[in-house]
Amino acid sequence: MPPRQRKPGPVEEAVRADVEALGDLVGIEPSLSQMAFRLAREIDMGGGEDGKQLAQLNRELRQTLAQLLEGRAADDDDDLGDLGSPE
Does residue 77 surpass a pLDDT of 90?
no
Is residue 38 situated within a structural domain? yes
Per-residue pLDDT band at 1 (split at 50, 70, 90): low
CA end-to-end span of the chain: 67
Is residue 51 situated within a structural domain? yes
Are 40 and 15 in contact by the 8 Å Cβ rule? The answer is yes
Is residue 12 situated within a structural domain? no
Chain segment 24-59, per-residue pLDDT in tens: 999 999 999 999 999 999 999 999 888 899 999 999
Is residue 56 situated within a structural domain? yes
The more confident residue out of 22 and 79 is 22
What's the domain count of the chain? 1
Is residue 18 situated within a structural domain? no
φ, ψ for residue 85, nearest 5 deg: -95, 145
H helices present in the chain, as ranges? 10-21, 29-44, 54-78
Is residue 78 situated within a structural domain? no
Q: What pLDDT shows up at residue 62?
A: 97
Distances (CA, A) of 21 to 14, 40, 67, 69: 11, 17, 16, 11
Q: What pLDDT shows up at residue 49?
A: 82
Domain that includes residue 48, residue range:
29-69
